[in-house]
Amino acid sequence: VSDIAQSLKPLFDPESIAVIGASNDVMKFGGRPIRYMKEAGFEGRIFPVNPKGGEIQGLAAYSDVREIPEPVDMAVVSVPAAGVVAQIEACAEAGVKGAVIFSSGFAETSSEGEAWQARLSEIAASSGTRLVGPNCMGMLNVKSHAIGTFSSMFDHGWPRPGNITILSQSGAVGSHTLVLARERGLGVRGWMTTGNECDVDVADCMMFAAEDPETQVIAIYMEGCRQPERLIEALETARRQRKPVVVLKVGASEVGAVAANSHTASLAGADAVFDAVYRQYGAHRAHSLEELLEISAAASAGQFPSSNRLGVATISGGVGVMSCDAAAANGLEVPALPERAQRELKELMPFAAVRNPVDTTAQMLNDVGLLRRNMEVLLAHGEVDATLLFMSSIGFSPYLMPQIKEVLPGVREQFPDELIFFSAMLRPDDKAFFEDLKFTCIEDPTRAIEAIGALVRFGQSFARAEAETPPTLPAGARPAPAETLNEVAAGALLRDAGLPVVESRLTENAEEAAEAAAALGFPVVLKVVSPEIQHKSEVGGVRVGLADAAAVRQAHNEIVASVAEKAPGAAVDGIMVAPMVSGGVETILGVHADPVFGPTVMFGLGGIFVEVLKDVTFRVAPFGLDEARCMIREVKGYPLLEGARGQPPADVEALAEALARLSVFAAENRETVDGIDLNPFLVLEKGRGAVALDALVVPRTK
């Protein structure tokens, strides 16, 4: 277990809790946690802290946290903002392992608050006391009844203990989510809201959950991220541990991102890069609270098929068709069942459609024994990875429901490890009955299939959990310098790093140009190289298709003359000579320094794909070949690389290698490089490699 997880354990599993600002008034923030813990029966010790001392809610109170005679795992701090720093200093002095700070009035409010918050960060760093908040709603341990929150949600019910850890940067969304989870009967292991994140942030908590043996699913609400490396480490760890991560990250729209920035002090980061990171590590990105809960609930049963064959058993043919549509939309196959299975089903139910979906019609309701045999055949001989059973409004039948409740436990006993979703209108107690048997119950069949799709994607991601090693750069690779390079130097730098950039030379006179052309091979292109000339063609600075030495000499002289006339006084580095390359599929490779994740590689097809359709995809650097291949397949224009429109297939492997190498180069030079463009990057016919015709390296500006 990592140090980070170790340091957060007293906050997720506290055995002794000090409540600083404790109150006898059970409606006050400093009174509620004590009251709720007493009511729920927290098994650890509670130490109210209040300058007045005495007794609070029947417990001995201390006037200062330093007076508590025992070790304190967690302090809950509910005093006005101006008094928080002193209390946290006291906690650090007393060796309190962690503190949850409810108080608001920090960085979200004023510059004074910002200073206080900065001081809190310092205390955390120097003392090792981990701080959650300020301006947060606190934490909850469902099993031990440790309550470090002022939420009043326990007035109307207690969540069920289970294996889902819920994390939220927002207190209000966090408590809303926890109530939703309770209402839906989800099993919750722990709950943490991180607020202003002066110390502990959501990525730290993810890391704890990823390593925590009691957590099997991590459900997250987030707006931004302060520790991108930690986030990626946590995602990697969770994947290695086969723990699904379900994340509702807001700020996808521009107006949403603006609102997110006004809501917390988080750095939102380009949403597309967040999206790429989640995809890269197999996290499921939910787009509503409902989806966050539904996918988390489905995942908590712990079954993740790594292939995508769906069997459907339905008492309605129409729902069968609907299921096929939903399966196709979610990357699932509904394959025809093997002949043996079809034959057995037909013998069993001559009236049924048996291909898959298996449509038993309402006849199955006349003989529930058929349900058992139907499921046995489907599960034993159907060769499917997941099964959806649709039974409409069966839950309302006082006659049939008891029979179904006799049949399905036997099916589960016989097939303990099969992923089975049960889609029907069920009363809450019946739903709980089937969920205890690991039948995931989702009333709407389309939504059930969406959830199955998510579980299959988790399974596929877990199957390739071992992070691949990014390639190493060739021995001759040089670090990127801090200053600006012209295109010839930039090309040489990237070529030395193993990237296929067309070789070019900078020449000073016509004779040098002719020699360079002969060395590089005709035909060639000539271009003026000058940091002061942006539009080279407009000043007569470009000549293409030069087939021999004479043409090169003449073109060189003409360029020099034209530039002198049209851009008088411009500093000119020289005239670049490069071989002409044509053909292949035009793509664009780029790197930018993402404000959150740092060097990030972009890939897209050239021309209208990038300019009109914005058909691009991202990965955080560095990454390996497999990841590069995934990236390439993600763009809509991918069929062009496979050889659409009668073209030969392109050299996708060469492209993948270039992307992976570019990512390594970008990561290694993150301190000096802000951006790289290889545009156009031509992917030639399979086996013939790829080549960038132009290279740009933008140095870091600050």
* Residues between 198 and 237 that touch a second copy (CB under 8 A): 221, 223
Question: Which of 611, 633, 648, 687 is the binder for a second copy (CB under 8 A)?
Answer: 611
Piece in contact with a second copy (CB under 8 A), picked from 10-18, 53-61, 243-251, 375-383: 243-251
Q: Which of residues 415-434 bind a second copy (CB under 8 A)?
A: 425
* Helix-then-strand count for the chain, H and E: 23, 29
Question: Which of 54, 367, 644, 648 is the binder for a second copy (CB under 8 A)?
Answer: 644
The CA distance from 688 to 691, in Å, is: 10
The CA distance from 85 to 473, in Å, is: 49
516-540 residues labelled b (16+ CB within 10 A) or e (exposed):
bbeebeebbbbbbbbeebeebeebb
**Total residues found in the chain within this entry:** 702
| Cis peptide bond N-terminal to 680, omega within 30 | yes
Piece in contact with a second copy (CB under 8 A), picked from 458-466, 561-569, 637-645, 650-658: 637-645
The CA distance from 211 to 6, in Å, is: 9
Q: Residue 403, interface with a second copy (CB under 8 A)?
A: no
| Cis peptide bond N-terminal to 134, omega within 30 | yes
Number of residues that bind a second copy (CB under 8 A): 78
Q: Residue 26, interface with a second copy (CB under 8 A)?
A: no
Q: Residue 346, interface with a second copy (CB under 8 A)?
A: no
| CB 439 within 8 Å of CB 408 | yes
Piece in contact with a second copy (CB under 8 A), picked from 48-56, 285-293, 301-309, 486-494: 285-293
Q: Residue 463, interface with a second copy (CB under 8 A)?
A: no
Piece in contact with a second copy (CB under 8 A), picked from 168-176, 453-461, 475-483, 511-519: 168-176
Shorter beta-carbon distance to a second copy: residue 289 or 465: 289
Q: Residue 648, interface with a second copy (CB under 8 A)?
A: no
| CB 100 within 8 Å of CB 148 | yes
The CA distance from 283 to 111, in Å, is: 37
What Å distances lie between residue 503 and 488, 496, 517, CA to CA? 8, 11, 11
Shorter beta-carbon distance to a second copy: residue 153 or 465: 153
Q: Residue 535, interface with a second copy (CB under 8 A)?
A: no
Question: Which of 112, 290, 538, 626 is the binder for a second copy (CB under 8 A)?
Answer: 290
In the complex, what is the shortest distance from the CB of residue 42 to a second copy, in angstroms, rounded to a whole number? 22
Piece in contact with a second copy (CB under 8 A), picked from 11-19, 148-156, 472-480, 673-681: 148-156
| CB 641 within 8 Å of CB 649 | yes
Q: Which residues contact 55 (CB under 8 A, 6 or more apart)?
A: 61
Question: Which of 49, 100, 131, 250 is the binder for a second copy (CB under 8 A)?
Answer: 250
State how far Cα 316 lies from the chain centre.
37
The CA distance from 694 to 677, in Å, is: 8
Piece in contact with a second copy (CB under 8 A), picked from 272-280, 282-290, 553-561, 694-702: 282-290
Shorter beta-carbon distance to a second copy: residue 331 or 479: 331
Q: Residue 529, interface with a second copy (CB under 8 A)?
A: no
Q: Which of residues 353-372 bind a second copy (CB under 8 A)?
A: 353, 355, 357, 359, 361-362
Percentages of the chain per state (helix, strand, coil), in multiples of 5: 40, 20, 35
The CA distance from 264 to 109, in Å, is: 10
Pairing of strands 419-423, 439-441: parallel
Shorter beta-carbon distance to a second copy: residue 15 or 108: 108
Piece in contact with a second copy (CB under 8 A), picked from 89-97, 162-170, 238-246, 464-472: 162-170
Q: Residue 113, interface with a second copy (CB under 8 A)?
A: no
Question: Which of 59, 94, 179, 518 is the binder for a second copy (CB under 8 A)?
Answer: 179
In the complex, what is the shortest distance from the CB of residue 463 to a second copy, in angstroms, rounded to a whole number? 25
Q: Give the DSSP H or E segment for 392.
A: none
